[in-house]
Structure 1
């Protein structure tokens, strides 16, 4: 709550903003890793698609929530089709296809956030 008032205010109260930001980033990274490891790589879609939708359509939640559901479903249908048809008669796990698309996009999003926060 103190950080919401601004970094300068937090420092005057005795809070170290850089330490708090590091702890929050670290905690969010660990929780995301646990979510992906628990749900599998299909759950990775739930991390990447909402960010892509927000970048495409802006920050309006009334539009983002249904758009995320639609694009997440479409993304999984396309990935499933690719997984079933790419190496016929065998099938790839759908998680492998979602990881091939999702991991680079997720890394791009992390890098673009770092650049935006540094600049």
Structure 2
């Protein structure tokens, strides 16, 4: 099931209880819930790894900039304090919606929030 680009619909198998052939059962369109869970898990890992990598690079660059000059250190500190003063979920929603939403908006919002906090 996981090798399909999309999970096939089988209306004859809709709303089945968990069994050996479908360990998590099927949904209202007959799609295997285990396959859907694994696809979602892969997307979550992708978003998490990209966000953590970009955030680490951003944090490293900001810390190197802060070491150069006291004025730059003041600006970077102010920027970090600005991001920390807004609640986490509100800031993620604002950044994500301003970029256009979707996976790209979520990744950018996460790496900005994690990298500057």
Q: Choose between structure 1 and 2: higher helix proportion.
A: 1
Query: Larger Cα Rg: Structure 1 or Structure 2?
Result: 2
Question: TM-score w.r.t. structure 2 length?
Answer: 0.32
Question: TM-score w.r.t. structure 1 length?
Answer: 0.31
